[in-house]
Structure 1
Amino acid sequence: MTQPLNVVAEPRDISTGVRQPDTIAEGLADVLADTYMLTYKTHAYHWNVEGPLFYSIHNLTEGQYEDMFAAADELAERIRAVGQMAPMAMRDIRDRSVVDDSPEKISAGDMCKALAADHERIAHRLHALITIAGDSNDPVTEDLATARSAFHEQAAWMLKALVVE
């Protein structure tokens, strides 16, 4: 008999009609990695922003990192729902992500520009995932990716609106 604390998670065959679940899971894992990296970056900017727009940027970034933190769980659970394993090592998160690390000193305006660019990169990855999910008979992932893309597109727009040049 297996002891309850000795059970190790592993991929499972989930037969819901989704084709290419490993490809779907890879795309979701990439977006999960981006989400985690951008959550931290956004939170760090939230802590360290200064200047006349402090309150606006502080509050905007708080809403964004809270949304992304919740989304990370949804993305990971979708990976498991298609029968695959969610990433477990931080190196996997770093290696998969397209989110650039932040310099130690950065202006409020450059924070907004950097975050907007990261949101745009993630939206592009989500658009690709929407296509893959549609081709793989996976409307659930397609819907999830569409909703996440809408969030990132709106976040990019709002951040760019703060730094109109």
Structure 2
Amino acid sequence: MNIDIGINQEDRAKIVESLSRVLADSYMLYLKTHNFHWNVTGPMFSTLHVMFEEQYTEMWNALDDIAERIRALGHFAPGTYKRYAELSNITEEADVPSAKEMIRQLVDGHETLIRTAREAVKVADDLDDFPTADMLTTRMEVHEKNAWMLRAFLEHGAGSMQGDASSD
């Protein structure tokens, strides 16, 4: 069935291409955050365990919104690890790093996702896709806040983390 929402098929495909990268980065960061939630150790265990859970739960819910936007634009959303690995700039962690390294990787992941979303907002704005731009702007705000909260653990020796011998 023809889609007539004021954005032609070619432009919708461009938007979907950038949204697919956002979805892939979001899924990879979700997976990494969930992994770290399960495996964090050290004196900040409880605080990080809870923070990671809050962040991955929020990301899990956002994945559906992003995928459904792709579907609303008339395309299929990528949904395999293989495809996410091809599209994403966020890599998996094969090992269990220290709590401090987990935080560093998650800050990097959020910042990577913000940059990917920022590029996708430009595409959506240029093609007058305001609902996509709005959704991505909201996602950027969430990830900027998450990165800030995580970064606070790394600043000035991170207080309680100084004594964590495994956090180097």
The reply to whether TM is greater than 0.5 is yes
Matched, 1:60 2:51: yes
Question: How far apart are residue 105 of structure 1 and its match?
Answer: 2.9
The Cα of 1:90 is off from its aligned counterpart by 2.2
**Residue 126 (1) aligns with residue 147 (2):** no
Aligned residue number for residue 5 of structure 1: none
Please, what is the CA RMSD of the aligned residues? 1.2
Q: Structure 2: how far apart are the matches of 1:104 and 1:89?
A: 22
Mapped partners of 1:132, 1:46: distance in 2: 34
- Report which of the two has the higher share of helix: 2
Amino acid aligned to 2:130: P
Moved over 6 A (4+): none
User: What's the TM-score once normalised by structure 2's chain length?
Assistant: 0.88
1:98 and 2:89 correspond: yes
Whether contact under 8 Å (2:27, 2:84) holds in the other structure is yes
Match of 2:61 in 1: 70
SS of equivalent to 1:163: helix
Establish whether residue 43 from structure 1 lines up as the match of residue 27 from structure 2. no
The runs of 5 or more residues in structure 1 that have no matched partner are 1-11
Q: Corresponding residue for 2:4?
A: 15
Provide the rounded CA distance (Å) in 2 between the counterparts of 1:44 and 1:23: 32
One-letter code aligned to 1:17: G
CA contact (8 A) 1:14 1:81 kept: no
- State the AA in 2 paired with 1:150: E
Distance, in Å, in 2 between the alignment partners of 1:94 and 1:129 is 18
Unaligned runs of 5+ in 2: 158-168
Per the TM alignment, residue 160 of structure 1 is displaced from its structure 2 partner at its CA by 0.8
What is the Cα deviation at residue 15 of structure 1?
1.3
Partner of residue 4, structure 1:
none
Letter in 1 for 2:5: T
User: Which amino acid counterpart does residue 127 of structure 2 have in structure 1?
Assistant: S
Alignment partner, residue 161 of structure 2: none
Displacement of 1:81 in angstroms is 0.6
Count of aligned residue pairs for this structure pair: 154
What secondary structure is seen at the aligned counterpart in 1 of 2:75?
coil
- SS of the residue corresponding to residue 142 of structure 1 reads helix
Given the alignment, which residue of 65, 79, 90 partners 2:70?
79
Cα deviations across residues 113-157 of structure 1 (Å, max 9, x unaligned)?
A: 100001001001111111111110100000000000111111111
Between the aligned partners of 1:88 and 1:119, the Cα distance in structure 2 is 20
1:107 and 2:98 matched: yes
Counterpart contact for 1:30–1:96, Cα < 8 Å: yes
Kept in 2: contact 1:112–1:160 (CA 8 A): yes
